[in-house]
Structure 1
Amino acid sequence: MSGGNPVVELAKRRGFFLQSAGAYGGVSGFYTFGPQGAALKQNIEDTWRERFTIQEGNMEVDAPTVMPEPVFEASGHLDGFDDMLVECPECGESHRADHIVEDNTDIEEAESLPIEEVEEIVAEYELVCPTCGAGLAGQAIQDFNLMFETNIGPGSSSPGYLRPETAQGIFVEFPQLAEYARNQLPFGVTQIGRAYRNEISPRKSLLRVREFTQAELELFVDPEEDEPDISAVADVEAPFYPASEQEGDDGEITEATVGEVLEEGVVGDPWIAYYLGIAKQWYESIGVDMDRFRFRQHLPGELAHYAADCWDAEAEVDGDWIELAGFAYRGDYDLSKHAEHSDEEFTVFKQYDEPITVERATVDPDMSYLGPEFGGDAAAVADALEVLAERNPDAFDGEDVTVEVDGASYTVPVERAGFAVEEVTESGEHITPHVVEPSLGIDRALYTALDHCYREDEIDGEERTFLQLPPEVAPTTVGVFPLMDRDGLAENAQEVVDDLRAAGLSVTYDDSGAIGRRYRRQDEVGTPFCVTVDYDTLGDGDDPDLEGTVTVRERDTTAQRRVPIDALAETLTELRDGDRHFDDL
């Protein structure tokens, strides 16, 4: 997205975002958010936090961006966090093979295809290197791990990685977080923060980068008991694109309510349906055009190994559908993996309504026998006997029982194992919660909002560019101008600025150039309201009744109203928050 894209050109010119380290030629995949972009990004994050953390009653954490290697061994990122890389035989440039396929054929979601099939497609369509045009047929396509590697401390003895997602920072702290939640399910933990992926070929501005901001919610639930209050979102209508429609030649997007798609089984899990409803409302609130928005179900080949079902929120940008967010039911995969690889318990205690009496198989190994018999392996054999008794008590029916430790078999007389079946009274059990995860990219949400809110029109015979951003997320809420920089107008305008800032509003002051040009500058960065201090404000105008009032101009229609200064902060706050409409002034 460069060389003529009006959104990218506006973003650089007006301080939304620009490629980082431009003084050194820039570095692909990294962007700096300028004053307007940083403010817009912060506002989008704040609205997400308000909706997904505060209103849902969830906790928020802020975990490190660097984590030790064992975390990613447990999570599976070391082995499975790969993209398809193909290297040009002529110029040596590396590219994502699935992107080349998608850009030059009618094939969608090539990422979900096996490498062998992608190699066949490259050969069949005679696809070429995007950089130099050399043919790529016959070139091997390889998996490339996307994580940035580093070392924790001096030397290389403690390898670590920049996190490729924020989720693992939540999962690894689950035992402590469960305590904070008093071991009461369901409970949710959110995080907004940076993540890093060493993309093979960053492209399309903020849409494919190497450093980005994620907003994620990990909801921990009891799969047997916990369900959401679907009634809260049942009537939310959205476009759905299920896998069954994608696999057909004439597949269609269905407009339906959350309640309908859940009842008809289009969305199988109530929690996924619940968060799709919330997300639709949130994306609409930040300026995403619902005519260019959909929820698309993952095809079978796209599903992560841990996901029973997954849906993406997608938006149309520059003719392409891009992923904005993922909604996955992750089961107990994450917590089970971290329990397996660590010394911690990743469970919660589930209290029964009433205590129950059950038969429980136990062992009490005779270590005076196991020690001389098995030496240093005696303790491991005792542990294996305990696990076997819990999983398969029938194994102790004979005279001997055999267990495996590190691939070796050990036979123990049952009488030496101390096997017994006892009646015990239990008040509850330890369960591994399941995880529901809404995960979205803040940068992509920001870019999509800019793209969908970009407008061009004509005012008084002059072309105008403006961003129709919702007032709640606009970088600046109000621009304040003195009509002229004399006769006390500037001093009065500065007093208005101070009052509005004291009321918590984001304000910019501008006394440079013609008033029309100042309006245009604010329109272009999406400022929803402008306030002008004029001679009527001072009581020196034609209408003495207007003394102590200012002109408030609305961005989208350019309509103007007079508002008393003493009511200005309250009025603008109500307009920003949607509690009042400009036409009602």
Structure 2
Amino acid sequence: MSEERTEGERLAELAKRRGYFFGASGAYGGAAGFYTFGPQGAALKSNVEDAWRDRFTVQEGNFEIEAPTIMPEPVFEASGHLDGFDDMLVECPDCGESHRADHLVEDNTDVEDAESLPIEEVEALIADNDLRCPNCGGSLAGEEIEDFNLMFETNIGPGSSTPGYLRPETAQGIFVEFPRIKEYARNSLPFGATQIGRAYRNEISPRKSIVRTREFTQAELEQFVDPERDEPDLESVADVEVTLYPATEQGSEDGEYVETTVGEAVEEGIVGDAWIGYFLGIAQEWYERVGVDMDRFRFRQHLAGERAHYAADCWDAESEVDGDWIEIAGFAYRGDYDLSKHGEHSDDDFTIFRQFDEPKTVEKAVVDPDMSVLGPEFGGAAADVKSALEELAERDPSAFDDETVSVTVGGEAKTVDSDVANYRVEEQTVSGEHITPHVIEPSFGVDRTVYTLLAHAYNEDEVDGETRSYLSLSPTVASTDVGVFPLVSNVGELTARAEALVEDLRESGFSVVYDDSGSIGRRYRRQDEVGTPFCVTVDRDGLEGDGPDSVTIRERDTARQVRVPIDALVEELRAVAGDETSFDDLVEEYDLVAPGADA
């Protein structure tokens, strides 16, 4: 590992040079918080999304949707984002630069979770530690901290009559479409809906490359459950080992990680909900599969002050990069908050009908308004008044105890005599009841996962007397599957055979790069640095021998090479890339090429 640069600096340089990611719109000076994924990065990101989709959508039997990224204002009034989606902003009095106050505290003091503190405490910490503006050095002590809403506002259509917002999370697109989605699930719980897409947050101070940006990709699952009846298949992940950092340990002076299994964590109450435990177990296995270093990975429970407004409990998956812990996913128990809010604010039904095992006789409050009175008094609003009275009877029967009862219709109070409302309680036989499902949400940051994979995959070693750097990316997500080279580029037979192999491999579903520029060793180094797991080389020995035509397959991490018949190439590559076999198995079956072939 290089001593001159930090891990983050080295990663940023590699990402730009090799086409993983770089600041967007550089020709026009750029804009903080926006990044373009280059050829390597776009492919890696797409593979991460595909791997997530396979595990959390396909294997779980969930539905996937794609909702608009712009939604009308009432959606976010209902969700609470207009009032409760804020960060702490402090402005430098000297240069006018704005900063996230909690980040300034975390970066310059021993306080780790300033985001969970009240504004008054953060202001005190800035003053007590004489924190200064990172831009000009001006003192920020005594400056007022304000709440800053992170959503991007826009207008839908011409003019400004229909305000809208770019969504700050993909989740709301799933929640508002719940009345449609439940029909596809045949109104039967539990079921899940997923979405992979862009989200937008007008960050005060974007930082750490693609870790905190203003436009990013989320992969989210909303699992809808009946809290009284539905349980996950916890047994399937009970033995998965996890590293947990509960809130109780974070608040202790000698707090430590809890090394346990998912089953034990749920049984002992460390993880309070079995559904959360289930998804922690799935995520642990998935992160390991795609290449996250498990020695630099943990699940941390949110402290009470940092939980989102909708979350009864939340755990973050965090990865360590450059000495800092980065949130790369969140697992929240959202209860019935979202569906209840949209049910209150919209005109649709966000409930599910729960069938009883046997019909029940129940007492039910009903109203039967005298329409001959309501009609003349309220005109065209009479039917709405009747509906409002029926809803009120279900919600608050005591409202009919007085001589008059009031309901709100169209924003106006309407008063009706209780005798006219004709309220009563009667026995009814019912076969079921409507319930509002609870929601468990695993939410993954795709960009942050890409950043983690690149950081954790970076290695340096020595091959043939030279220092080389390589990305030990899992074949599951690597940008390119195979590099194909003719050993010597000016020999027509080798070049033609290599080009034919490229075509065959691509037709077989592999992502392939062809390279005939420079020495074979330099070509290997280029592919090592971008993380290509395997390289195939066509040489004279493989075409001029007595046996069947063959090529060499080189493994990236160890630089070992084996000679494989061309007829078996696709099959062997598919097996080793898909973890059906290992490169050690290839070494046992085929001839190991002598060291020095990288030269």
- Fold shared per TM-score above 0.5: yes
**1:504 paired to 2:509:** yes
Q: 1:429 aligns with which of 425, 428, 433?
A: 433
Q: Deviations over 1:300-331 (max 9, x none)?
A: 11122321110000011111111011000001
Match of 1:534 in 2: 539
Match of 1:558 in 2: 559
Q: Deviations over 1:317-369 (max 9, x none)?
A: 11111101100000111011111111001011111122222222211112333
Read off the aligned partner of 2:165 and give its amino acid letter. Answer: Y
**1:385 paired to 2:389:** yes
State the SS of the aligned residue for 1:306: coil
TM-score by length of 2: 0.94
State the SS of the aligned residue for 1:488: helix
* Superposition pairs of residues 314-353 of structure 1, within 5 angstroms: 314-353=318-357
Residues 413 and 447 of structure 1, relative CA distance in 2, 3 Å threshold: closer
Read off the aligned partner of 1:557 and give its amino acid letter. Answer: T
Q: Deviations over 1:496-539 (max 9, x none)?
A: 11111111011110001100000000000000100100002221
| Contact 2:319–2:326 (8 Å) recurs in 1 | yes
Pairwise CA RMSD: 1.8
Shift of 1:3: 11
| Contact 1:381–1:410 (8 Å) recurs in 2 | no
Residues 373 and 23 of structure 1, relative CA distance in 2, 3 Å threshold: closer
Q: Deviations over 1:212-269 (max 9, x none)?
A: 0000000110011001000110000010000000001111011110001000000000
| Contact 1:536–1:544 (8 Å) recurs in 2 | no
| Contact 1:381–1:403 (8 Å) recurs in 2 | no
Shift of 1:487: 4.0
| Contact 2:99–2:204 (8 Å) recurs in 1 | yes
Read off the aligned partner of 2:525 and give its amino acid letter. Answer: R
| In structure 2, C-alpha distance between the alignment counterparts of 1:32 and 1:396, rounded to whole Å | 61
| In structure 2, C-alpha distance between the alignment counterparts of 1:183 and 1:554, rounded to whole Å | 50
| Contact 2:400–2:418 (8 Å) recurs in 1 | no
| In structure 1, C-alpha distance between the alignment counterparts of 2:8 and 2:115, rounded to whole Å | 29
**1:571 paired to 2:576:** no
Match of 2:247 in 1: 243
Residues 289 and 3 of structure 1, relative CA distance in 2, 3 Å threshold: closer
- % of aligned pairs identical? 70
| In structure 1, C-alpha distance between the alignment counterparts of 2:334 and 2:484, rounded to whole Å | 50
| Contact 2:6–2:322 (8 Å) recurs in 1 | no
| In structure 2, C-alpha distance between the alignment counterparts of 1:361 and 1:231, rounded to whole Å | 43
Residues 413 and 98 of structure 1, relative CA distance in 2, 3 Å threshold: closer
State the SS of the aligned residue for 1:312: strand
| Contact 2:62–2:193 (8 Å) recurs in 1 | yes
* Superposition pairs of residues 440-451 of structure 1, within 5 angstroms: 440-451=444-455
**1:48 paired to 2:52:** yes
State the SS of the aligned residue for 1:265: coil
| Contact 1:466–1:524 (8 Å) recurs in 2 | yes
Residues 210 and 395 of structure 1, relative CA distance in 2, 3 Å threshold: closer
Match of 2:494 in 1: 489
Residues 389 and 487 of structure 1, relative CA distance in 2, 3 Å threshold: closer
Q: 1:126 aligns with which of 120, 124, 130?
A: 130
Match of 1:307 in 2: 311
Q: Deviations over 1:536-576 (max 9, x none)?
A: 2221xxx533x411011100111110111011011101111
Q: Deviations over 1:409-437 (max 9, x none)?
A: 836143x3223333222111111111100
Q: 1:403 aligns with which of 385, 390, 406?
A: 406
| Contact 1:384–1:403 (8 Å) recurs in 2 | no
Match of 1:544 in 2: 546
State the SS of the aligned residue for 2:306: coil
| In structure 1, C-alpha distance between the alignment counterparts of 2:555 and 2:332, rounded to whole Å | 41
Q: 1:189 aligns with which of 193, 197, 202?
A: 193
| Contact 1:482–1:493 (8 Å) recurs in 2 | yes
Q: 1:280 aligns with which of 284, 302, 305?
A: 284
Residues 384 and 512 of structure 1, relative CA distance in 2, 3 Å threshold: closer
State the SS of the aligned residue for 1:29: coil
Which sections of structure 2, spanning at least 5 residues, go unmatched? 587-599
Which sections of structure 1, spanning at least 5 residues, go unmatched? none
Q: How many residues are aligned here? A: 579
| Contact 2:7–2:322 (8 Å) recurs in 1 | no
Match of 1:256 in 2: 260
Residues 413 and 536 of structure 1, relative CA distance in 2, 3 Å threshold: closer
| In structure 2, C-alpha distance between the alignment counterparts of 1:6 and 1:456, rounded to whole Å | 12
Q: 2:482 aligns with which of 478, 484, 489?
A: 478
Read off the aligned partner of 2:541 and give its amino acid letter. Answer: D
